[in-house]
Structure 1
Amino acid sequence: MNIKRATVVGLTAGALVAGGATLAGPASADTATQTSPSGPYWPVLQRGQTNEQVRTVQWLLNCKNIKVDVPSHFGPKTQAAVKTYQSRYGLSPDGKVGAYTWTSMASRAQVKYSDRNDCVKALQVALNVYRDMTGAKDLPITGYFGPKTRTSLHKFQTTYGLPVQDVVTVATWNRLTGPESPGE
């Protein structure tokens, strides 16, 4: 009996390890919260959700000329737009926004002071989620990275121990959209 049990446990553990390794790869469904064991955590967004993280993703998609409405609801049109983005940038097109898609979007949306585009609108939406914690004022969603957006960004970066700069890095996007964000 002990040999039988050990065999079953060993086979089960082997299957879990093999299956886990498959699931962790970027070619699989994007439900991972990290791209590596030591990497930053990202939320997983999918069809049916409604929040400001979804709205941020919608503006980031528009920034890359993948047009989608921005109602803060992850519906079929947003899912299709996410699949288009994923296909365009070499990701598995599953329509979910997990660690791999977030990292890809953030690395392509490093906006800087004086920019005018939909990536700035994504930044403004994300910063507004934190305004109560940072003491920043509510930003109008204009798409212009001017003095008001810079002040809000600097307050956010200071509050969360990030380097204060006029560029939005992947680390800043991660903190703005990460699983601990107040919008979740």
Structure 2
Amino acid sequence: MNVKRLAVVGLTTAAVVAGGATLAGPASADTATQTSPKGPYWPVLQRGQTSEHVRTVQWLLNCKNIKVDVPSHFGPKTQAAVKTYQSRYGLSPDGKVGAYTWTSMASRAQVKYSDRNDCVKALQVALNAFRHSTGAQDLPITGYFGPKTRLSLHKFQKTFYLPVQDHVTVATWNRLTGPESPGE
């Protein structure tokens, strides 16, 4: 009996020391640091906000078959959709879009040339926010990653010293939504 109890206490202590964050799980929105586990800045979005970042998140939710209207306003339906996303992908369902939720969404938003989907709409919204600084034309939000979207993406990548590619990486998503983006 004492051996079993000692083993349980020892394993519990080891788990707390080795992986204490695992026990609590990551919060999706860390308003104190706004950084992900890997370090880049991500804006924290929550109920009541209106911005192009919110609109981007709404299209990313639709891309993952969590349907929500896209009015650019973070209302109760968007909050519920964010909680659904967070629960589905193992995040703490707090209804805020912070570093962990952004990182998760960006890593799952596989967008490449010739795609037709809501993830492309999210990309088009985000690229349009930068059209003045990159010299790109305003993109219609069609959901088609064709020549116009590719040209706009390449101009964005060149302007911000990112590798010029026909697909969107997490680093590109981060730059599109980061601290100097006009989407807030």
Q: Which runs of 5+ in 2 are unaligned?
A: 1-19
Match runs of 1:1-184 below 5 Å: 26-28=25-27, 30-32=29-31, 33-36=34-37, 39-184=39-184
> Percent same amino acid among aligned pairs?
83
Question: Could you report, residue by residue, the CA deviation over 1:75-117 in whole angstroms, capped at 9, with x for unpaired residues?
Answer: 0000000000000000000000000000000000020000000
Q: Which runs of 5+ in 1 are unaligned?
A: 1-20
Give the secondary-structure state (helix, strand or coil) at the position aligned to 2:91. coil
Aligned residues: 161
| CA distance, structure 1, for counterparts of residue 67 and residue 181 of structure 2 | 26
| CA distance, structure 2, for counterparts of residue 154 and residue 83 of structure 1 | 33
* Structure 1 moving runs of 4+ over 3 Å: none
Question: Could you report, residue by residue, the CA deviation over 1:42-66 in whole angstroms, capped at 9, with x for unpaired residues?
Answer: 0000000000000000000000000
| CA distance, structure 1, for counterparts of residue 30 and residue 49 of structure 2 | 14
TM-score (norm 2): 0.84
Give the secondary-structure state (helix, strand or coil) at the position aligned to 2:72. coil
Q: CA deviation at 1:182?
A: 1.3
| CA distance, structure 2, for counterparts of residue 96 and residue 31 of structure 1 | 9
**Contact kept? 1:154, 1:164, Cα under 8 Å:** yes
Cα 1:155–1:84 change in 2 (3 A) is same
| CA distance, structure 1, for counterparts of residue 74 and residue 154 of structure 2 | 29
**Contact kept? 2:154, 2:165, Cα under 8 Å:** yes
The RMSD of aligned alpha carbons is 1.4
**Contact kept? 2:55, 2:72, Cα under 8 Å:** yes
Question: Could you report, residue by residue, the CA deviation over 1:20-75 in whole angstroms, capped at 9, with x for unpaired residues?
Answer: x97xx753352251123x61110000000000000000000000000000000000
**Contact kept? 1:68, 1:81, Cα under 8 Å:** yes
TM-score (norm 1): 0.84
**Contact kept? 1:31, 1:97, Cα under 8 Å:** no
Q: CA deviation at 1:179?
A: 2.1
